[in-house]
Copies of this chain bind each other. A is one copy, B any other.
C-alpha cells in the first residue's frame, strides 16, 4: 500500500527544489551596490569554485535569448535576469547553480527529480558549506541568515516542488487549493513563478515562512502540504474516471494524436497536450511513453530553447513548426 502510494507520489511530482539565500557580511545588498562592488562580489564567489569543474556565466555576456533559455530551465530567476548588468551564475550542472547578485548576494539552488527535498537540501547544504568556509556570511545569532527581503530572513530557505495537477485544474478546484495551502504557510504558483498562469497544469508549491523554524521543519511541513494536495488530486482523478472515463480517455488519446500529427504547435497548446499525455501515463492509460520523454519535451519545446537550436532569427511560425517537428520526432523515436 505504502509502496504504491510512493510510486504515485513520484509520478505527479516533477521535481523538488531547495534555494538558500545568503549574503556576504558587511557589504550592502545587491540593490544598493555599485558596478564595482558587484564585480567584487562575483569574483569572491567565482574564486571559490575556480578549481572545480563549474561553469561561470556573467549575465552581461549573454544575449536575451540565452538568458531566456536559462529562465525556461529554471536555472536562473527573472530577478537575476532583470539585474543582468551586475549578476552572474555558476553552474555545477543543470540541477545545481549559484546565482550571484540576485535579490541577495548568493542564492544556492539545488533541484532533484520527483519528491526528494531531503536530497536537494543535502546537496545545497554542501555548496553552502563550501562557500561558508571561504566567505563571512551576514548572520545574526538571534535572527539567523540576513537577507535583502525580510521574508527570507532566518534559514534563508525556500523549499519547493513542481507538481502536475490536471484533475484539480479541470474541475476548477485550484482556487480552493491555493486557499488551503496558504493557510498552512505554503504558497502555490504557476510553473514560471509568481503571477504566471499554470501552463500545462504544472504548479509550484513552496514555503512562505523562513523564520523561526528549523530547515527540517520547513521541509516536513511542505511535504505534508504536498501530500494533501496529491491526495486531493488523486481523489479528483478517481471521481473523474468514475463519472467520465470515456471523456478522459478521449482527451488523453486525442492529445497524443495531435502531438504526433500537428504541423504547427504553439507553446500553450503544446504544454496542455503534454499535460494530458502525462496524465495518461500517470493513470496507466498510456503505457508505451516514458515520463522522461514528456519532461524533456516540456523544457525543450520552450521558445528560447527552440530559437537556440534552430536559429535566433526564426519567425514565430517557424518556432511553431520546429516545436511540432521536435515533438513528432520524440514520440516516433523514443517510445
Q: List chain A positions with a Cβ less than 8 A from chain B.
A: 246-247, 249-250, 253-254, 256-258, 260-264, 317, 321, 324
Say whether A247 contacts B264, CB under 8 Å.
yes
Residues of B within 8 A of A258 (CB): 254, 257-258
Residues of B within 8 A of A264 (CB): 246-247, 250
Say whether B262 contacts A260, CB under 8 Å.
no
Say whether A262 contacts B246, CB under 8 Å.
no
Residues of B within 8 A of A317 (CB): 246
Partner of A257, one of B246, B250, B262: B262
Partner of A262, one of B254, B263, B321: B254
Closest chain B residue to A285, Cβ basis: B263
Task: Report how far A199 CA is from B97 CA in the complex, Å.
Answer: 57
23 A-B pairs with CB atoms under 8 Å apart are A246-B263, A246-B264, A246-B317, A246-B321, A247-B264, A249-B263, A250-B262, A250-B263, A250-B264, A250-B324, A253-B261, A253-B262, A253-B263, A254-B258, A254-B262, A254-B263, A256-B261, A257-B257, A257-B258, A257-B260, A257-B261, A257-B262, A258-B258
Task: Report how far A317 CA is from B244 CA in the complex, Å.
Answer: 11
Closest chain B residue to A249, Cβ basis: B263
Closest chain B residue to A245, Cβ basis: B263
Please classify the interface of chain A as helix (H, G, I), strand (E, B), loop, or mixed, using the class held by over half of its residues. helix
Task: Report how far A258 CA is from B276 CA in the complex, Å.
Answer: 14
Closest 5 CB pairs of A and B: A257-B261, A250-B263, A257-B257, A253-B261, A250-B264
Residues of B within 8 A of A246 (CB): 263-264, 317, 321
Residues of B within 8 A of A321 (CB): 246
Task: Report how far A302 CA is from B46 CA in the complex, Å.
Answer: 70
Task: Report how far A263 CA is from B250 CA in the complex, Å.
Answer: 4
Closest chain B residue to A321, Cβ basis: B246
Closest chain B residue to A261, Cβ basis: B257
Give, as a whole number of angstroms, the nearest-CB distance from A137 to chain B. 54
Task: Report how far A261 CA is from B260 CA in the complex, Å.
Answer: 10
Task: Report how far A140 CA is from B158 CA in the complex, Å.
Answer: 96
Closest chain B residue to A253, Cβ basis: B261
Task: Report how far A279 CA is from B256 CA in the complex, Å.
Answer: 23
Residues of B within 8 A of A256 (CB): 261
Task: Report how far A3 CA is from B253 CA in the complex, Å.
Answer: 42
Closest chain B residue to A255, Cβ basis: B261
Closest chain B residue to A257, Cβ basis: B261
Residues of B within 8 A of A249 (CB): 263
Residues of B within 8 A of A250 (CB): 262-264, 324
Task: Report how far A258 CA is from B256 CA in the complex, Å.
Answer: 9
Task: Report how far A44 CA is from B232 CA in the complex, Å.
Answer: 72
Residues of B within 8 A of A260 (CB): 257
Task: Report how far A258 CA is from B250 CA in the complex, Å.
Answer: 10
